[in-house]
Structure formats: C-alpha cells, structure tokens
Amino acid sequence: MAKQTITLTNLLTNPSFEKTGWTANSACSVSYAASPKHSGSYSLKVTSTSSSESLIVTSDTYAIRKNHIYYISVYFYETVNVCSEMQCYWPIAEPLVGFAKVDKTKLNQWQRLSWRNVRANWNDN
C-alpha cells in the first residue's frame, strides 16, 4: 500500500500570535513579547496575576464539514513549573473537544502541543 500524505490546516488562522483578538481573564495579563519567540515577530506572553486559573482565548468561525479532520498546533514556552494546557472548545459541543498538556520537565524550551479530531457525527455547515 502506498503512503498517503495529508496536509492539515491549523484552525488558528495566524499561529504566530501576531493577530489581534486575544483576550485574558482576570487571573492573568497578556502582552506581546519579542523574546523568546518561536516564529514571526512576537510570542504571546501570559503573566499570572493571581492563583486562579489563567485563561487566554481567541476564536474563529468555520463551516463544519462531516468527517473533516480539525487540527490545532501551538508552541508553548514555560519558565516556571505550572499546569498548562491547550484546550479546544466548540460552542455547539461543550465541554471541551480536545486538549494537550505541557510537559513540566521541559522548562525554558519550546514545546509543540497539537490536537486533532474527526467530526463524524455532525452534518455539513
């Protein structure tokens, strides 16, 4: 059987974090940092302001296609040992649809977090 190559399109339309539209809850602040950066001009820097859950959010709108593979990939860089994860929510499919956790043993280095899911039980659009 021949190998098949599939190209996945990231659900984040600008994964360099240079787009606007990122918001944070009251437990953290968000700024753009030139260092350390993984790619592009900036990284999104999250600074905790309390012991509550720090949450940053962005959203986009997509036409749902049955049996389509949905994919998200981001790079994390942690300087302190905290519990961080990337989560994907769909408003019509609460609770979260997928998540990936940061490896706490890899401080001060970039980690790629990825998630994918095939939505077989939804109709198109």
pLDDT tens digits, 15-63: 556 666 788 888 888 888 888 888 877 888 888 888 888 888 877 777 7
- Residues 45, 79, 72, 28: what is their CA dihedral angle, to the nearest 10 degrees? -40
pLDDT band for position 124 (cuts 50, 70, 90): low
- The phi, psi pair for 93, rounded to 5°, reads -140, 35
What is the C-alpha to C-alpha distance for residues 43 and 69, in angstroms, rounded to an integer? Answer: 27
On the CB side of 111, how many CA atoms lie within 13 Å of its CA?
A: 17
**CA 32 to the chain's CA centroid:** 16
